[in-house]
Amino acid sequence: MELIYILTFKHIMSQGNEEHEKVFLKKILFLVGTNLSFLLIFCITFVSSINVVHCQLRNSKIKGNIADTVNKMPLENATIMLLNRKDSILKGYSYSDSNGNFLIDHISKGKYILLVLYPEYADFSDYISIDQDNDAVSFRNIFMISKSHLLQDVIVKADAPAINIKGDTTEFNTSKYRISANANVEDLLKILPGIQVDANGKITAMGRL
């Protein structure tokens, strides 16, 4: 009988119903007055139940704001996922509201990866840890970078070669050779590889006139 009362008491405590707790405690107090051994067992059960309820009520959470990195405008309906760092199993998720805010709560202690996804934007990820010393993580601003903006920052320049040989024709890219501001064509020819200009102004290219 005592065991049944103890198990029932633990169940009621876990439900958090105050009226049921009061009625059942009256029955418990009657048994306590008639049975010393039951009093000891009840005290141990009561303390452990309080600890369980305290742990259940603990609300570890992650919150933050999602915005565009250029115009600082909030991004609505961004997908925020909380993944287990060890095996990438999904542990929680949320969506940003019209102001870009999000909240993931009821998180167990552990090490996680926060992943933010938004169409046409580069993904954002960060490592976070939830423990007894850090049960609330706040990202004041998470700025997302649009993929189009990333492409604009990547500029590819293909420089033309100084010399280009096409069959029996040799082309020189004169912009690759430095000459003084007042130089003439003859001065340029003198520094081109394979070109010789003698004292009389005769030009020889690759040994031929």
Q: What is the CATH number of the domain that holds 140?
A: 2.60.40.10
Rounded CA separation 109/134 (Å): 9
- Asked whether residue 182 falls in the same domain as residue 109, the answer is no
Please state, in angstroms and rounded to a whole number, the distance separating the CA atoms of residues 92 and 103.
10
According to the model, what pLDDT value does residue 5 have? 40
Q: Are residues 28 and 94 in the same domain?
A: no
Tell me which residue has tokens 């912009």.
Answer: 175
- Are 192 and 144 part of one and the same domain? no
Q: Which residues of the chain have pLDDT under 50?
A: 1-15, 17, 36, 38, 40, 42, 47, 50-57
* Beta strands 195-197; 203-205: pairing state: antiparallel
In a domain, residue 33? The reply is yes
Total residues found in the chain within this entry:
209
- pLDDT computed for residue 74 by the predictor: 96
State the Cα–Cα distance between residues 200 and 181, nearest whole angstrom: 24
Q: Which domain covers residue 121, as residue numbers?
A: 61-152
Total structural domains within the chain? 3
- Listed residues 57, 82, 104: the one ending a domain: 57
Q: Do 66 and 147 belong together in one domain?
A: yes
Q: What is the pLDDT of residue 136?
A: 80
Same domain, 25 and 38: yes
Residues 105 and 144 both lie in one domain = yes
- Indicate the residue among 11, 41, 57 that finishes a domain: 57
Task: Establish if 80 belongs to a structural domain.
Answer: yes
Same-domain pairing of 194 and 144: no
Confidence (pLDDT) at 29: 56
158 belongs to a structural domain: no
Residues 144 and 198 in one domain: no
How many Å is the Cα radius of gyration of the chain? 39
Residues whose CB is less than 8 angstroms from the CB of residue 151 and which lie 6 or more positions away in sequence, other chains included? none
Indicate whether 112 belongs to any domain.
yes
The answer to whether position 114 is within a domain reads: yes
Assess contact for 186 and 197: CB atoms under 8 A.
yes
Which pLDDT belongs to residue 9?
44
pTM of the model as a whole: 0.48
pLDDT of 161: 56
Are residue 52 and residue 119 in the same domain, yes or no?
A: no
Secondary structure (3-state) at 133: coil
Is residue 32 domain-shared with residue 72, that is, in the same domain? no
194 lies in the same domain as 120 = no
Asked if residue 157 belongs to a domain, the reply is no
pLDDT value, residue 131: 84
Are 69 and 140 members of one domain? Answer: yes
The H-assigned helical ranges of the chain are 2-15, 18-34, 36-57, 147-152, 185-191
**Average pLDDT across the chain, whole number:** 70
Residue 167 counted as domain residue: yes
